[in-house]
């Protein structure tokens, strides 16, 4: 089972990915948790660019794809082949959103990624009103970085929500307590994933 958690900044993705992994492990599942950009060389370059100034649109897109190719081959595909549950905090849908906001065609980005990257069994899109998301980002005690500007996040949210009609996608409202969000995520899981027979 391959589960991806997506959404704009400030929706609580990292918190919920961790909670979901803990829940499934408590049910006896073997879980591999990861995130993108990764801690590898390409991912580190992307993370640093958020603070020091973004790469050119073309270079940024290519760097995301290089990072993802390495992630798929070294971590995601082997874990899935071993029958483990993989939970990812961000994946190529973020590239569709954030690079789509820079002018690239999200559909073309998706095609390019799905040529080598497995499609998740379940895509959880955590959604929150833009003002509330920005207030949460500001509450972290740091200024917004290059990926977190209002006009950028507004377009990203539109792109994420455009996926809502797809069969493997669930939109999760995060304008509630973390416990309530976790309950909504667990309710979206297939019964078999929870270790129930």
pLDDT score, position 196:
44
User: Which domains can be identified in the chain, with CATH numbers?
Assistant: 2-194 (3.40.50.300)
* Residue 5 marked ligand-binding: no
* Residue 13 marked ligand-binding: yes
Q: What is the mean pLDDT of each run of 10 residues along the chain (197 residues)?
A: 94 95 96 97 91 88 96 98 97 95 94 97 94 70 52 88 96 95 95 59
pLDDT score, position 42:
96
Name 173's bridge partners: 127
* Residue 137 marked ligand-binding: no
* Residue 9 marked ligand-binding: yes
- DSSP states along 154-170: HHHHHHHHTTTTSTTEE
Q: Find, among 50, 2, 43, 31, the residue nearest to 190 by Cα.
A: 2
pLDDT score, position 197:
35
Residue 29 structure tokens: 């599942």
* Residue 40 marked ligand-binding: no
């Amino acid at each position: 089972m391959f589960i991806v958690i997506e959404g704009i900044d400030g929706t609580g993705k990292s918190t919920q990915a961790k909670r979901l992994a803990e829940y499934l492990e408590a049910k006896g599942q073997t879980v591999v948790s990861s995130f993108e950009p990764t801690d590898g060389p390409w991912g580190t370059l992307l993370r640093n660019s958020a603070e020091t100034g973004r790469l050119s649109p073309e270079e940024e897109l290519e760097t995301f794809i290089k990072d993802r190719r390495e992630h798929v081959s070294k971590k995601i595909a082997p874990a899935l082949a071993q029958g483990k549950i993989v939970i990812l905090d961000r994946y190529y849908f973020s590239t569709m959103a954030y690079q789509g906001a820079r002018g690239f065609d999200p559909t073309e980005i998706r095609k390019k990624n799905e040529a080598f990257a497995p499609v998740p069994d379940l895509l959880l899109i955590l959604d929150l009103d833009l003002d509330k998301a920005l207030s949460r980002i500001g509450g972290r005690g740091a200024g917004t970085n290059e990926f977190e500007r209002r006009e950028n996040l507004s377009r990203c949210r539109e792109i994420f929500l455009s996926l809502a009609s797809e069969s493997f996608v669930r939109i999760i409202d995060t304008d509630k307590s973390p416990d309530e969000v976790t309950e909504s995520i667990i309710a979206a899981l297939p019964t078999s994933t929870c270790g129930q027979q």
